[in-house]
Structure 1
Amino acid sequence: MKSPGEFMEILAAYDLTRSYRDAAKICGVSHNTVRSYVKARQEGAQAPVARQRGRMTDPFLPQMISWVEQSRGKIRGDVVHEKLLALGFTGCERTTRTTLAELKAKYRARNVRVHRPWTPEPGLWLQFDYGDGPVVDGVKTVLFVAWLAFSRFRIVIALRDKTMPSVFAALDRTFRLIGGIPTYILTDNEKTVTIEHAAGIPVRNAQIVAFSRHYSTSMQTCIPADPASKGGVENAVKIAKADLVPKETNLLPEYRSFAELEAACEAFMEEVNSRVHRATLEIPKDMLRVLERPRLHPVPETPVTASFGHTRQVPPNTPMITFEQSRYSVPHTLMGEMVWVRGTETEVVIVHVGDAGPVEVARHKDTLPGTPAIIDAHFPPAPSGALERVIRPTNKAEEEFLALGAALWLKEAADAGTQKIRHKMERAVTLAKVLGTDEVDKGLGSAAAHHRFTHEDLCSIVNTAGGTGHTTRATRTVTDQGQWLSQGTGSWANFGTTPTTAPTTDPVVDGDFEGALDER
């Protein structure tokens, strides 16, 4: 059906050309359309209206509407088409899907959920949920995310699991981070919170009831399969996963340890709570400090420890505890402190309760008695042993010698049992002052590599490496053998033979003896 403007354009084009086909080409319509519009004008009638043809699915509309209502708009097109074929429908599946899409759209329009803006009171609501964390050391982690409804203050804590003790520790730490406890806490229907539903009423877990009583708060759960009832924390979980879990979209590196993940969570909380929130146009941590924290309940000094297991006292001289006849390590900073230990089917979990609340400090695989479970990071750096001696100067002379870069020479010379090693060190320092540190450093390195530890060896290596440039005395080479002062070797030619002539009384010098031999 054409609009009034298009109707007038068609008539104007016909008046201009007086041809149905030419007017149709100008307006981009069929010449039959132009003819019908001109005829209607001549007869003084209204513009013709397009006829609505019926669909092949019209006889089956009541059944299709019933199926959409029963499935709450979830039924698929192929399922509806199969049912229609059984009722005698002869159309194609595309016709079925087109009609079904219109029926679903009408159903959703009638049953859409209307969201009313929520204006929470300060200090009243806290929501928490979980998100899939990154894989650390081959183990999948969990992100515990809490969200204060009024101030939009967010808390992200990395957990190793979602067991009751871990949840209690995370909630206690959350309360201490925000500096108080809200009146209501809203979460999902996890088994740690809700055991089952009876006639639509959630049956609470007895441990969570004791937890709520200890902290003077009320634990509430949202309606099953209705995440919109706690949309604030759902959005916080989405943002935390996008910024903390390594993916191809954020190019984050893998976490090498659980401590790195905890540090990343701390940095994320500091960032998101220190910038202006787009909904309130306020900084969340400022709203928490000024408006919401004064309305929160105080946090008990003693946290809930009933589910943390058994207590163990860490010895003051070794960070090891005993649990079920086996020994497990804890961070050395907890020596002399009390910790809580509990066992699962395959692991042993150790928790320490400090000023920041309960914190999991170690998690070990079950081990056998006599085989202690040790994590190297729990111990401070070990002192150097017999095979790892550290070279440290103890006086000024040693500092000057080691400043030459002569640590290798000192170690090799000491291992070789070099005598008067300190005297050689002093002479090397003196030589460096004359020839330069670099030359002596290279010489000491060569001497250590070839196990030549005398001072003469050092001087020879330095002079050989540097040529004659380091000699301090001028030299002159004598090429005339007649002027050489060294004795000849000609007198040794007849050594061991019987002389044929009588010896003379005149002394014969080496040169004459050599001449006589030459004459013979």
Structure 2
Amino acid sequence: MKWRIRKVNKLETIVEVHQLKKQGFRVAAIARKCNLSRTTVYEYLDKDFEEALEWVEILKTRSRKLDPYQKQILSWLKEHPDLSASQISYWLEERCSFSDVGESTVRTYVRELRDKYHIPKTLTYRTYEEIEELPPGHQLQVDFGEAKVEKAEGKGGKVYVIAFVLSHSRYKYAEWQEHPFTTRDVLRSHENAFEFYGGRTEEIVYDQDKLMTVSENGGDIIFTEEFQAYKQQRGFSVYLCKAADPESKGKVENVVKFLKRNFAKHRLFHNISSWNEQCMRWLEKKGNYQVHNTTKKRPVEVFALEKPHLRKVSTLLSFESNRGSSITRTVHKNNIVKYLSNRYSVPLGTYQPHGDNKVYIRIDQNELIIEKTRGDTPIAIHALSKGKGQLIKNKHHTRDRTRGINAYKDTVKEPFQEESKINLFLEEISKRYPRYVRDQLQIIQKTIKCFPAFIHPALEQCIDQELWSANDFYDVAEHLHRVQIMDTNSVPSQIPDMSPPPAHFKEKARLRDLDSYLDILGGA
């Protein structure tokens, strides 16, 4: 029965491929619509209906390469239901010395065995928790996206979007452009969004996009120079999603999908101006008007109540000027930078799938310095390797996940003598950096390792001056270390002795007449 269904489905697919070709679709478009490879599309186009029917009948009776290994594959699937076809392909090669088959063939065969013997694939899911709605005027979420479009002249292309959504009302705003966003584009879009909303929120949520951030830095987030200046001028706070946690801004993630699938999909692109005008009309009539699935209210109606809670902004800023930059290296998806046949690590989260992954490389003596912006705070510093094919990795670029936070705190406390003071310091850090406690503890551990003689006076100063940050603790200890070095290396001034000279220093030499010297020298 299942074979007959698959047979009909295959014939229907072949017929559909021929129909789409007659309608003028290109092979690549047919492949996307039918979820086939282009090679398969070409193969189907070479067959007429009678040939296709005969071919399907042949497929029914022919033996298959993987049939001799069916029992082995079934035993693997029953023992490990979560096995992927890729793993099975490798196990066939590793354990059965069989590799004369493509992965797509293995996928199809495994899928059929799962259907026939009712062995569904076991999947693991992350546990989510619904959170309470935020108050009006509190939070705005921002994210980026891109979409493929068909242009009027028949060519394909890409357009890029920045999306904004108010967390309380779900009221949306978006801007599109034909090139990837730069920092200047991002700031200009913010100004346009503030004008559209009639104000700004107290907090804005971002992903770790390198247009705005350089590093999490254990919670003391380092922003790019331009964004830091803009953030200070506008006065909003930033909530930065941690690496590999895009769900922290799930509302705007859904908006980006909504824009791509509901507005941009199958829409003919003429120019960016008309595209943005169409998007604004779509937001007015669809995106912000239809009832939201979660709140069961129209965003436009809720926004009318939220708008008075937004903070007014001063005269809109201008971003006409833009500083150029020259690119030297690219951050790869495994968060490394390649230089002279070696690989150097950068902090996790530096690579952004749709962000700017360009960095500057410079050599200072025997150190390789990696910077996001020329002259800015380095994101990584490594000893320059003289070998080739090596991975030079900083252990601080990965997180210590082997121990719980409490156990980690106990380890950090051990070198300190006054338990009450270190407990107070760690307690304050936990309050101020709840999402970065582990990062802060790592910085304290680094301080203990680098400046062990100064951790106690540094702790005293931090508590006295209420500096509740591991970065401040490190800076104080480093400063005390430098002061000691300067005191040790300083040369005392040579002050002359001003006491009266001895009496014999006052005696004068006896004077002789010229004849005496002539007699001594033998002169006439």
TM-score normalized with structure 2 length: 0.39
User: Which has the larger helix fraction?
Assistant: 2
When Rg is computed on C-alpha atoms for both structures, the one with the higher figure is: 1
